[in-house]
C-alpha cells in the first residue's frame, strides 16, 4: 500500500514574530508560530487532501513538542519525524521595519534538523510516492543535510517519482557558489522547477520566462514556473509556444509575503497531481499563495480544498483530483 503521495525533507522552526515594528532590541512581545518552507508546503498539501510525508528531526524540547502539536493539529503525518536529545529545535525571528519585507533572524545553526543525514532516510518511504519536493534551504543547512537531500533525490530517481525543486534562495543561507553548485545539479534532476524573479536572475540571468524557459528546459525540467508575486505567475511545459500567465488573486488584506511561495508550489503541484491544465495549476498556486499573505504566520491562511475548488469553479462534490494509481 502506498503511504504518501508527496514526500519532502526539511527543517521546521518556531517562528517568533515581533508584535510591534522596529528593531528587535526594542520589541518586548512576540507571537509564536510554526514555520519552515517544507513544513508549510506539506501543510498546504495536507489541507488540500494530499497525503504528505515530511522527513525531519526536532529537538527533544518544548519547541519540538510545540511543532509536533501543530503538525498533528493540521492532520499532517508525523511518522517520519525523529527527535534529538543532542540538538535543539531551530528558531527564527521576524522583525518588521517601516517598509519592505520582514527581516529574518535565524537561530538554527546546530539544530536537530541540521544534523539530518542520509542514514536517516529509508528507501521504503518512497514506495508509491508520486512526487518528491526539495528546496534549496535544506542542503544549505549543513553538509550532512546536503548529503541527505542528494540521497533523497537518488531514491526518487530510482523509484521513478517526479521531482520538483524550489531554490528558495535566502541571502542569509545561500551565496553565489550555491547557485552555481548544488542548485544547478538539482535543477538538472528536477521535472518541475519553481523560481521567483530574483532566483531567475541569479540562476539564468533573466527574469523573462520567454527567454529563461529555453535554458531551463534544456537543463532538464519539463515544467518551468516563474512566480511573479503581485503579478501572478507564468509557466511553460516546453510544448506550447507561449508560456501561460495567470494574474494574481486580489486580496483585501496584506500582512506579509512569507509562506506564499511554499503555498504556491503546493497549490500548483496539487493541480498537476489532479491532471489539470497549466492554467488551472497556476490559478491554484496563486490562490494558495495569496491566502498566505493575509495572515502573520506562514501557513495559517492556506485554504482547504472546500475553499479552493469553488474559487476555481470546480464542484466540491467531485473532489479535486484524479489520483494516480
Write out the binding residues for ligand KDG, residues 170-209 only, by CB under 6 A: 170
Q: Is 262 a catalytic residue?
A: yes
Handedness of CA 289, 290, 292, 293 (dihedral sign): positive
Binding-site member from 6, 7, 9, 37 for ligand KDG (CB under 6 A): 37
CB of 92 to ligand KDG, least distance (A): 6
Binding-site member from 133, 298, 314, 321 for ligand KDG (CB under 6 A): 298
- Which C-beta is closer to ligand KDG: that of 93 or that of 270? 93
Write out the binding residues for ligand KDG, residues 204-263 only, by CB under 6 A: 258-259, 261-262
C-alpha distances (whole Å) from 129 to each of 116, 125, 153, 156, 263 are 21, 8, 13, 8, 20
CB of 199 to ligand KDG, least distance (A): 13
CB of 261 to ligand KDG, least distance (A): 6
d(CA 92, CA 24): 12
Is 166 one of the binding residues for ligand KDG (CB under 6 A)?
Answer: no
Residue nearest to ligand KDG (CB): 35
Binding segment for ligand KDG (CB under 6 A), chosen from 36-44, 114-122, 283-291, 301-309, is: 36-44
C-alpha distances (whole Å) from 289 to each of 108, 145, 228, 232, 250 are 25, 27, 11, 10, 11
Binding residues for ligand KDG, rule CB under 6 A, total 12
d(CA 3, CA 131): 12
d(CA 107, CA 13): 9
The mark string for 107-146 relative to ligand KDG (x by CB under 6 A, - otherwise) is: ------------------------------x---------
Is 288 one of the binding residues for ligand KDG (CB under 6 A)?
Answer: no
Query: Could you say which of 5, 166, 262, 298 is catalytic?
Result: 262
Q: Cβ distance 90 to 106 under 8 Å?
A: yes
Is 35 one of the binding residues for ligand KDG (CB under 6 A)?
Answer: yes
d(CA 272, CA 281): 6
d(CA 152, CA 190): 12
CB of 40 to ligand KDG, least distance (A): 6
Closest to 11 (Cα-Cα) out of 200, 188, 148, 183? 148
DSSP string across 139-181: GGT-HHHHHHHHHHHHHHHHHT-EEEEE----TTT--HHHHHT
Cell of 56: 525531519
Q: Under the rule (CB under 6 A), what is the footprint of ligand KDG?
A: 35-37, 40, 92, 137, 170, 258-259, 261-262, 298
Catalytic residue annotation: 262
Amino acid at each position: 500500500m502506498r503511504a504518501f503521495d508527496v514526500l519532502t525533507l526539511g527543517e521546521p522552526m518556531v517562528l517568533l514574530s515581533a508584535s510591534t515594528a522596529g528593531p528587535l532590541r526594542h520589541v518586548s512581545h512576540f507571537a509564536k508560530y510554526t514555520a519552515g518552507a517544507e513544513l508549510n508546503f506539506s501543510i498546504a498539501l495536507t489541507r488540500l487532501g494530499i497525503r504528505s510525508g515530511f522527513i525531519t528531526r526536532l529537538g527533544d524540547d518544548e519547541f519540538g513538542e510545540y511543532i509536533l502539536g501543530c503538525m498533528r493539529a493540521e492532520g499532517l503525518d508525523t511518522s517520519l519525524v525523529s527527535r534529538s536529545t543532542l540538538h535543539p529545535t531551530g528558531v527564527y525571528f521576524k522583525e518588521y521595519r517601516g517598509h519592505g519585507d520582514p527581516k529574518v533572524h535565524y537561530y538554527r545553526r546546530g539544530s536537530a534538523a541540521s544534523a539530518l543525514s542520509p542514514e536517516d532516510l529509508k528507501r521504503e518511504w518512497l514506495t508509491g510516492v508520486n512526487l518528491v519536493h526539495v528546496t534549496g534551504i535544506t542542503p544549505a543547512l549543513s553538509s550532512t543535510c546536503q548529503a541527505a537531500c542528494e540521497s533523497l533525490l537518488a531514491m526518487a530517481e530510482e523509484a521513478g517519482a517526479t521531482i520538483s525543486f524550489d531554490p528558495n534562495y535566502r541571502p542569509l543561507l545561500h551565496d553565489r557558489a550555491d547557485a552555481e553548485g548544488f542548485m544547478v545539479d538539482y535543477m538538472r534532476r528536477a521535472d518541475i522547477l519553481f523560481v521567483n524573479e530574483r532566483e531567475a536572475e541569479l540562476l539564468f540571468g533573466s527574469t523573462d520566462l520567454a527567454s529563461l524557459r529555453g535554458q531551463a528546459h534544456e537543463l532538464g525540467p519539463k515544467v518551468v514556473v516563474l512566480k511573479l508575486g503581485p503579478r501572478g505567475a507564468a509557466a511553460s511545459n516546453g510544448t506550447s509556444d507561449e508560456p501561460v500567465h495567470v494574474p494574481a488573486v486580489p486580496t483585501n488584506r496584506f500582512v506579509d509575503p512569507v509562506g506564499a511561495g511554499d503555498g504556491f508550489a503546493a497549490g500548483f503541484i496539487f493541480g498537476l497531481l489532479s491532471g489539470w491544465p497549466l492554467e488551472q495549476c497556476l490559478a491554484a498556486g496563486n490562490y494558495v499563495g495569496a491566502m498566505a499573505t493575509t495572515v502573520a504566520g506562514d501557513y495559517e491562511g492556506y485554504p482547504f480544498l472546500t475553499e479552493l475548488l469553488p474559487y476555481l469553479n470546480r464542484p466540491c462534490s467531485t473532489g479535486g483530483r484524479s489520483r494516480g494509481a
